[in-house]
Homo-oligomer: A and B are copies of this chain.
Amino acid sequence: MLLPEQVIQELVTRGELWESAPGLCGMRGSLAALRADVSTTLRDLAMTETRDEWQMPQGVAFQTLETAEYFESFPQWLTAAAHLSGDEQSLARVARSSSPGDVARRSLEPASAALPPAVCYHTYAALRETCVEDSVMMTAEETCWRHEGVRMSPLERGWAFTMREVVFLGGSFETEDFRQRGIERASELADSLGLRARVAVASDPFFAPTSRGKAILQRVKSLKHELLVDCDDGHSLAIASFNNHERFFGEAFDITLPTGAPACTACVAFGVERWVLAILMTHGIDEDAWPIMSSATAAHGAGAAR
């Protein structure tokens, strides 16, 4: 099995992977085709649960993240979209500068929207103050942003990355049942792709001391599992996570069941680029050795560049 850095080095040498800025990667050639196939395969997996696919907004209101208590938990990751003031004078100052990029990056207005740290915040915001009949299950794929500073590394931990999520809202029993089914199906998919993956209890890296208790509770109550691929250097790659939030988001966003009780929620989340990396670590960088993803090949017109 290759180490992540061996995979990355070879892809960069081949010109199939490059960084435009720290943590932001482009892909070409067989790597881009593999990424497209993985994206379609994960979409197909989600579709076995639900046909209700959404196209998410590209940014999240700060208010939504406040309601989700995001800033108490993960402020370290926050990334936001900001623009220049529209007034002619300040635009002219940028336009006439000898290093306009540098002037521009320091002249931004306060940010107008956060870039999504995860897909499911959109779901809770869209369903705010509604009553969920029986249950709601939806899926979406979206670019997510988490700034992890020096920990960033291509395909494994990008500043921006692609997340496929399936989100469930309903009663307590059905919610945990959905999560368990997600663990099974993701494990089966990993098996079918020849990945040696294992399921482990996990917790989120909460920031604030007050929130660190949440991490302990997560572990004690087994509310979060991850699907891990172990690397030969001893660290593990989490390629999917399975999260039961109990009544937390239902209460925060006032999403209720017909009984009037807050809805329970769970999400199953896949990191598209991490699945790509796991396949490359396991099977090597020669595309002839990659597993065949039949539905993907069909959907992408015989696999594009492959």
- Residues on the B chain within 8 Å of A138, using CB: 28
1/0 contact trace for A29-58 toward B, CB 8 Å? 000110110000000100100011111111
**A193 on the B face (CB < 8 A):** no
Q: Copies per complex?
A: 2
**Chain A residues within 8 Å of chain B by Cβ, number:** 83
A59 to B207, CA, bound (A): 26
**A304 on the B face (CB < 8 A):** yes
**Chain B residue at minimum C-beta to C-beta distance from A26:** B57
**Contact A95–B207 (Cβ < 8 Å):** yes
**Contact A125–B60 (Cβ < 8 Å):** no
**A94 on the B face (CB < 8 A):** yes
**Contact B52–A18 (Cβ < 8 Å):** no
Besides A22-B112, A299-B300, 19 new A-B residue pairs in contact (Cβ under 8 A), listed by A number = A21-B60, A26-B126, A47-B301, A51-B305, A53-B305, A63-B101, A66-B100, A66-B101, A71-B94, A75-B84, A75-B91, A75-B94, A75-B95, A78-B83, A80-B104, A86-B149, A108-B111, A298-B298, A299-B301
CB<8 Å pairs between A and B, sample of 11:
A21-B113, A27-B55, A28-B138, A57-B160, A59-B159, A75-B84, A75-B104, A78-B104, A80-B105, A92-B208, A112-B159
